Structure formats: C-alpha cells, structure tokens
Amino acid sequence: MAAPATPADRGWFVTIEGPDGGGKTTQAERLRAHLVASGRRVHLTREPGGTWLGERLREVLLARTASAAGAPTDPLTDAFLFNAARRQLVGEVIRPALEAGTTVVCARFADSTLAYQGYGAGVALERLRALAGIATDGLRPDLTILLDLPVEAGLERKAPGDVTRFEAEFDLEFHRRVRDGFLAIAREEPGRFVVVDAALPVDEVAGVIAAAVDGRIAGGGDQSDVPGGAATAAG
Ligand code: TYD
C-alpha cells in the first residue's frame, strides 16, 4: 500500500468537535467562509449526516424515542450506526474532496464517538478505535478544533427544538464525562488539536479558530513539525 498522502498533495481535513451547544455549526460555517475568502476550495459537512444515508441515520440516531421504544439504545449499537454514517461520508464525500485538493471542514467526526459512546456511555475505547479504523479505512483529521465549554452552559444554549436524544435522555454526569473525554483525547494528541474556549463571544471564537487554522496550514504538511502542541486559546 502506498504511504498515506500528506496535506501537501491533497486537501486539508479539519474537524470541529466538542460538547453540545458549543457552536460547532456556526463556527464551521465561519471557518468555511474564512477559508474561501483566502482562496481555498472548501467542502463543509457534518456528522452524522452529509450523505443521503447519513442524513437518514441522523434522524434515527437523534430522535427522542428511546423511552417510547421501551429500552434505551445500547451504546455500542449507537457506535455502529454513527460509524455506518461515517463510512458512507468518508467514501462518498470526504476522500474524493481531499483527493481533488479541496479542504474539508467537518462538524464532528470519530472523536465524538470516543467521547460520547466511550467516555460518556462506557464502551471500551479500544473497540471504538477499531470500529472507526474500519469505518474510515484509517483516515484521520489533519487538524481538530475542540470547542470546549462547561456542560451547563452548552446545554442552556440549545434551542428547545434542537434538543437531541443525547441531550434529552443523558444526565449531566454523562455530559461531564463527554467534555472531560474530549479534553483527554486532545491531551493525547497535542499536535492535532487546538482547544478553544467556546464560552467567548462568537466573533472572538471565530477569530481564534481562523488564526489557528491559518497557522497550521501555513506550517505545512508535516504535523509533527507544528510547534506549540495544544494551544489553549484565550482561556
Ligand atoms: P449535533 O446536532 O450534530 O451536535 P450539537 O448538538 O453539538 O449541535 O448532534 C449530534 C448528537 O449526536 C450530539 O448530541 C452528539 C451525538 N454524537 C454521538 O453521540 N456520537 C457520535 O459519534 C456523533 C458523531 C455524534
């Protein structure tokens, strides 16, 4: 098998992660606009979703039906479904875009499964890493922005019509484990992560992300050369 391509000869793969209510959708759109303004081709997508199948799976995964269904959904079942949507998105959208030199910005990716189904719901991280490896054929983000904020603040920000099964049916302790899980993952891979304080005003967060992404992209393709590790921006 050929050595994996580096961002020098394909598009950058940037993911935006974090607990609920951190503003991932807004910030992903702001980042897209920033990158387009600086002359890049950008494809913006999200998980679960981004393909016909993925959007159908999203409806099923986020619907608040667990109590109506009689039994809570097994977290490993959730992990399989998120990874099914992920596989379709990688094959249909992300890889072709990257190979065409397009930068891909994706709101949530495999770190969300580690944080929610792993740290949050207790599925062994090794099993989740194996599943994600199969689903993505080993594709990993070049850069991940972690929008971090206290759990209560995030949940308060969500509009009532935008509350998913995970927010409605999992308690605060679950969401605290998710947040701590994201921070633990970021500590393990400081070269990939930029941790941003999502409690700051929207424009300020967008500015911090734009600067971080510009810095990494300008820094070139070899992630191990990027100095500084996990930058905790303004907080
Ligand atoms: P979404 O609306 O994308 O996120 P947010 O609420 O932050 O705007 O909802 C996706 C939900 O699915 C969110 O609660 C996290 C959860 N999720 C997982 O539990 N595992 C996963 O692998 C992914 C991608 C999402």
CA 145 to chain CA mean position, Å: 8
Q: What is the pLDDT of residues 5-46, one digit of tens each?
A: 567 789 999 999 999 999 999 999 999 999 999 999 999 999
Residue 1 has pLDDT above 70, yes or no: no
User: Would you say the CB of residue 108 lies under 6 angstroms from ligand 1?
Assistant: yes
Ligand 1: centre distance to CA 170 (Å): 12
Asked whether 107 and 48 are in contact (CB, 8 A), the reply is no
What pLDDT does residue 220 have?
58
Specify the number of domains making up the chain: 1
Percent of the chain with pLDDT over 70: 88
Per the domain annotation, does 5 fall within a domain? no
Per the domain annotation, does 3 fall within a domain? no
DSSP letters spanning 48-71: S-SSHHHHHHHHHHHSS-HHHHSS
Neighbours of 201 (CB within 10 A): 8
Per the domain annotation, does 127 fall within a domain? yes
Per the domain annotation, does 8 fall within a domain? no
Q: What is the pLDDT of residues 119-137, one digit of tens each?
A: 999 999 999 999 999 999 9
Per the domain annotation, does 173 fall within a domain? yes
For residues 91-117, average pLDDT? 98
Q: What is the pLDDT of residues 166-185, one digit of tens each?
A: 888 889 999 999 999 999 99
Per the domain annotation, does 147 fall within a domain? yes
* Atom from ligand 1 closest to the CA of residue 154: 7
Structural domain including 173 reads: 13-233
